[in-house]
């Protein structure tokens, strides 16, 4: 993620996850030298890009 959390072009997103999923996500992100924010941002970017390719899905 290129923007810092204090940048004016960044908004906070709160997501409720089951404890087990959060633990797994945190552990895997740490192993891959990433943050949960990095992982979620990549997933959202991919989802939005996929939606542009298929506007009716």
The helix-helix angle for 19-31 and 36-53 (nearest 10°) equals 100
Secondary structure in 3-state letters for the chain:
CCCCCCCCCCCCCCCCCCHHHHHHHHHHHHHCCCCHHHHHHHHHHHHHHHHHHCCCC
pLDDT of residue 44: 94
Q: Report pTM.
A: 0.72
**Which residues fall within 8 angstroms of residue 36, CB to CB, at 6 or more apart?**
25, 26, 29
pLDDT band for position 8 (50/70/90)? Answer: confident
What pLDDT, in 10s, does the model give residues 35-48? 999 999 999 999 99
Is the pLDDT assigned to residue 15 strictly greater than 70? yes
Mean pLDDT, to the nearest integer, of 16-32?
98
pLDDT of residue 50: 80
């Amino acid at each position: 993620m290129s923007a810092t959390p204090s940048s004016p072009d960044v908004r906070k997103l709160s997501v409720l996850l089951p404890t087990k999923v959060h633990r797994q996500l945190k552990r895997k992100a740490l192993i891959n030298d990433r943050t949960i924010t990095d992982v979620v941002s990549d997933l959202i970017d991919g989802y939005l890009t996929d939606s542009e390719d298929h506007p009716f899905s």
